[in-house]
Structure 1
Amino acid sequence: MRVIPQIQNNNQSDYRTVLSDVGVISQCDAPAYAGNRKIFRAFRYFQARIEEMVEGENDRLASIMAFLDKVSQACLVKIEVASHADAYTLFESLNNRGMPLTAIDLIKNKLLARLETTEPGKVDHYFDVWNKLLGYLGDDYSVQERFFRHYYNAFKDPLNVPFRKDDDKRKDPLGPVATRSNLIQIYEKLINQDAKHHLQAIRSAGQLYALMLARNTDEAWAPLDKPLKDLDRIQGAPSYLLMLYLLVRREALGIDVTQLEEIARLLVCFFVRRNLTDTPPTRDLTRLFMATIDKVAALSGTAVAKTIRNELLAVSASDETFRSKLEGAIYEENAGVTRFVLCALAEQSMTKETWVDLWKYEGKLFVWTIEHIFPQGDNIPAFWVAMIADGDVKKAKAMQETHVHKLGNLTISGFNSALGNKSFKEKRDRTDSNGRNVGYRNGLRLNAELATTEAWSVKQIDARTTTLVDQVMSLFTLTGTKAY
């Protein structure tokens, strides 16, 4: 073949099959569903057009030659650039239609091209290795790109060693940190240095990174399932580079699954506090975890977890700041953290027999959502005005502004839309068509107080807020001997 399409999306194998079918090249096996994809559909279109010319009443030879003349005038323009990074820049400048070529596509193309040069005839094998890597990471491009950034940032020091020269004062010739803008340049240099070694190392790391993506199929890692899922739920992805480093180097660091579980839970506690207080700022997180890796690289055993705890404590907001945020309008401050905290509180009293999946989805929405006990809508129902403010609408509005988003006025409900602006007792006693309790008497310990009280007031909101805040402070401590 003189024109060799990309392997991506079966383009090359489909094209080869078309050429084989018409006898241009030797026979080859057709990939599954090739006839439904664009190359075969385009071939069939032109084949039908040519058959129309042959079967028409006009001069068949003239029609064919005219068509051939048009084909012969078509041009393929080849633009050569110095690197894959330049190719990406050029492609992004020219491409305004079709499937965008991603940085990961270019890294793959560079990798396979290099391996075909160094080990001719084995590109299919290495393509399978690459597909296994993507199988671990899934189809989401943002996750794939994040993994490649995290891999470099986690192992930056050993990856830079072969590139350091005596006369070069730069500590990191490949770059101090991987970003979206320099990702291609970094991996292009790594591939040129040793494509086979880096592909195998990245594939092995990808298999472990899959643990953070809830794609674990090995029972040996089962203790990590819950804390790593919670780390994702609390938006702790910036710490995946630290977890990846610990997982890959666990034997050298002398840590086991139990210690990895402890560290994952510690990171959950850190992100609950960080995401509510915004301390440290988002821009500092990557360098924080890279610096932490530097601190633990030469340690082993319990010293690893202890050092990580100390590093997180050093940059976290104080307990006073954390408590202040918890006591305020937490839902307005960060609804995601609020939901996570409420779910964590509810889960504390669950047993294996009473376990309820509070993170279950239906479509793209959670089944269990945050419920405001005293409603948050602009039009406060009359029965709520009477209960909260003795019938004074203005007073009820003022109380709503100061208390509706407090932790004490929030709970988790699987039937939020069915509760809405109903009275307190209706919300408390609500049942479904099968007679099951779907209101505040749904069995969650988080709702224990709500299930037995007869009314709701600002005083009760304040008291419940204090109780729940104390529980959250204890649950997500960074200084205690046990994390949540």
Structure 2
Amino acid sequence: MIKSANQYPVHALLSYEGNLTYRVPPYQREYSWQKAEWEDLFQDLVEADDSHFLGTIITLNQTTDAVASGILELIDGQQRATTLTLLLAAIYSVLNEHREDLDDEARNELFNLGRRLVGKGGELRVTPQTQGRNRDDYRAVLAEAGLPVEPAQKKPYFPLRRIARCYQYFRGSITRLAETNGFDEVRAARIMLEAVQKAILVKIEVANHADAFVLFESLNNRGMPLTPVDLIKNHLLAVSERHGVMHVDEAFKLWNEMLTNLGDDYATQERFLRHYYNAFKAELPEVANAPVATRTKLIRIYETLLGKNIKSGVDDLVGASRIYGRVTCVAETDAPTALDESFRHLMRAQGAPSYVLVMWLLAKQAKLGLTEYQLISVTRWLTSFFVRRNLTGYPQTYALPKLFMTIIAMLDGRSGVGVVDIIAKELTDASSSDEDFRRRLEGPIYDENTDVARFLLTTLSEDAMTKETQTDLWGQEKGHFVWTIEHILPQGANLPDAWKQMLGGAAAAASAQEADVHRLGNLTITAYNSTLGNKSFPEKRDRTDTNGRYIGYRNGLALNVDLVDRQTWTVADIEERTKKLVDASLLRFPLL
């Protein structure tokens, strides 16, 4: 089945001396990674102490394991491979723009980088497939970056599609990495180049497609490996027994109490351990070369922390986990307060990186003289900050731990309203501008960040609710939201003739679908929207369930009031409603 399986750094897989190329077969789906995946990859590479493991790729080649020549078909790993080369293209773009300022070593790096992306004769080292205009967009991006390729003509709405947006995301991320750390773009680009080239991939070659698909299935159904949380627990139990500080059963009981407080989601448990260290670092035993807790440093940090004053250390962890459980809304309360509701809002706004600050504030509430109202104010500031951050991507994820740790350090000796004022100012200074936020709100927000789009739409709906019209827009059935985003102008293919006629013909309808379908003005919230699909606008507006209840745009949500009496839905209507919802969002999530 497997012809070869070897571990390679990226610089070997894309050797500038060789001409090995990777091609995505036509049956593969189009490029689908979005900002969340781009951001995770960039953050992981920034944080990597050494060579970051990127996972596996499965390739098909009729020869032996060839790294120096040949064409490999990418059976699995095209998303990762395409994204890596787009990051390398962004790095190339930065270095190429500063070519005159580069020393000889950097110019040599630039030349070699170009060969890693484009081989002899202008051949692409990674060739996407044609679906979704991936290949045309990819060639256009490489040409825009300054690479020696024959550029494809930029197809309509090129900047809105994922290939172009991924490249621009990484281009902006390099600039922000430089700004965050106080050095120039060239240095930031070279740091990222080194991180990418050292990153490790396992390349598995198979003899035929049948073997490839069997292998793919087995790799995606493998057992779960031990996590850092498991390894830290094992270290705790071993140290407790070795030093006779606690009986193993007592240590295990305390550890389980902590996990119970945090819930059964591994990501929350791991994040708590990072946040605990970052929040209380000034009070904890010193850990060498660990100014901030990252995933790669977590085990080493807790091996140090749990090797000193282990009983009191675990007790402190358990106490902090109770607070963290409340902040993350894992701990259910019989009588939730307005503060608990503000935590729930922050959670829904994807504000998890700020839990480090919120946990610290709650732990120090008495010392800081903070009232519950002031804690609510802080949580609201954080919610506004994260709505903006998660849509604009600024500040970047890797900068957030430093931001919140800096704020914690600044609050020493402050109290009451002074605490709130400092937090509000620091969040405002770190946030994107109103102009940038507005620009992103006006664009294809559903494609940029579906979760932010849903949060905005539900919040604007909830704000208009009364006790009589209260509706739970976050309720789930079988693990899925009952109330979901509905595209008024359908996003799917095979648009019915009624829509084409309404929009001015087939060409105009196709243009509207490409340019406007994912904009805020074309989105709303409905229950069971799978029943609406590609139906005509009047059918969507007036749709009822089997009991005669409206599930279309007459469903009673204030968000849909301006749709109830409309007879048509055009690009002009989308533009008008987008402006209205953008203005409402800016008012709802302000910063100073």
Alignment partner, residue 292 of structure 2: 177
User: Does the aligned pair in 1 maintain the 2:246–2:311 contact within 8 Å?
Assistant: no
Pair 1:130 & 2:255 matched:
yes
CA RMSD in angstroms comes to: 2.0
Alignment partner, residue 574 of structure 2: 461
Pair 1:445 & 2:558 matched:
yes
Distance in 2 of aligned mates of 1:397 and 1:101: 49
- 1:231 positional shift: 2.0
- 1:108 positional shift: 2.3
User: Does the aligned pair in 2 maintain the 1:415–1:439 contact within 8 Å?
Assistant: no
Q: Deviations over 1:70-108 (max 9, x none)?
A: xxxxxxxxxxxxxxxxxxxxxxxxxx9976433223322
Alignment partner, residue 222 of structure 1: 337
In structure 1, the gaps of 5 or more residues are 1-95, 164-171, 480-484
Partner amino acid for 1:308?
I
Alignment partner, residue 428 of structure 1: 541
Distance in 2 of aligned mates of 1:275 and 1:99: 30
| Structure with higher strand content | 2
SS at match of 2:337: helix
Distance in 1 of aligned mates of 2:318 and 2:289: 20
- Of 321, 333, 355, the residue aligned with 1:240 is 355
Distance in 2 of aligned mates of 1:404 and 1:100: 41
Pair 1:263 & 2:378 matched:
yes
Distance in 2 of aligned mates of 1:271 and 1:291: 17
- Which structure: larger Rg? 1
Alignment partner, residue 509 of structure 2: 396
Alignment partner, residue 470 of structure 1: 583
- Of 246, 261, 278, the residue aligned with 1:153 is 278
Q: Deviations over 1:133-178 (max 9, x none)?
A: 1110122222211111110011111114xx4xxxxxxxx6362011
Partner amino acid for 1:259?
Q
User: Does the aligned pair in 1 maintain the 2:485–2:523 contact within 8 Å?
Assistant: yes
| Structure with higher helix content | 1
Partner amino acid for 2:546?
S
SS at match of 1:147: helix
Distance in 2 of aligned mates of 1:126 and 1:360: 38
- 1:118 positional shift: 5.0
Distance in 1 of aligned mates of 2:494 and 2:507: 12
Alignment partner, residue 213 of structure 1: 328
Pair 1:329 & 2:454 matched:
no
Partner amino acid for 1:105?
D
Give the length in aligned residue pairs.
Answer: 372
Partner amino acid for 1:283?
Y
Distance in 1 of aligned mates of 2:400 and 2:560: 36
Alignment partner, residue 306 of structure 1: 421
The two structures have a TM-score, normalised by structure 2, of 0.60
SS at match of 1:370: strand
- 1:218 positional shift: 4.1
SS at match of 2:269: helix
Distance in 2 of aligned mates of 1:439 and 1:457: 18
Distance in 2 of aligned mates of 1:286 and 1:304: 19
- Of 408, 413, 417, the residue aligned with 2:526 is 413
- 1:220 positional shift: 7.0
The two structures have a TM-score, normalised by structure 1, of 0.73
Change (3 A) 1:221 1:325: same
Pair 1:101 & 2:218 matched:
no
Distance in 2 of aligned mates of 1:416 and 1:220: 33
- 1:121 positional shift: 6.7
Distance in 2 of aligned mates of 1:306 and 1:296: 10
Alignment partner, residue 192 of structure 1: 307
Distance in 2 of aligned mates of 1:99 and 1:388: 50
Distance in 2 of aligned mates of 1:102 and 1:419: 43
SS at match of 1:192: coil
Distance in 1 of aligned mates of 2:527 and 2:223: 42
Change (3 A) 1:121 1:423: closer
Alignment partner, residue 363 of structure 1: 478
Q: Deviations over 1:311-355 (max 9, x none)?
A: 111111110111111111211221111111111111111123321
Distance in 2 of aligned mates of 1:378 and 1:245: 50
SS at match of 1:377: coil
Pair 1:379 & 2:494 matched:
yes
Instruction: Answer 1 or 2: higher relative contact order, Cα 8 Å, separation at least 6.
Output: 2
Change (3 A) 1:340 1:296: same
- 1:477 positional shift: 0.4
Pair 1:343 & 2:451 matched:
no
- 1:225 positional shift: 2.6
Alignment partner, residue 346 of structure 2: 231
Partner amino acid for 2:269?
Q
- 1:373 positional shift: 0.8
Partner amino acid for 1:405?
H
Distance in 1 of aligned mates of 2:571 and 2:315: 61
Distance in 1 of aligned mates of 2:577 and 2:461: 14
SS at match of 1:182: helix
Distance in 2 of aligned mates of 1:373 and 1:107: 50
Pair 1:112 & 2:237 matched:
yes
Partner amino acid for 1:186?
I
User: Does the aligned pair in 2 maintain the 1:174–1:186 contact within 8 Å?
Assistant: no
User: Does the aligned pair in 1 maintain the 2:261–2:331 contact within 8 Å?
Assistant: no
User: Does the aligned pair in 2 maintain the 1:328–1:406 contact within 8 Å?
Assistant: yes
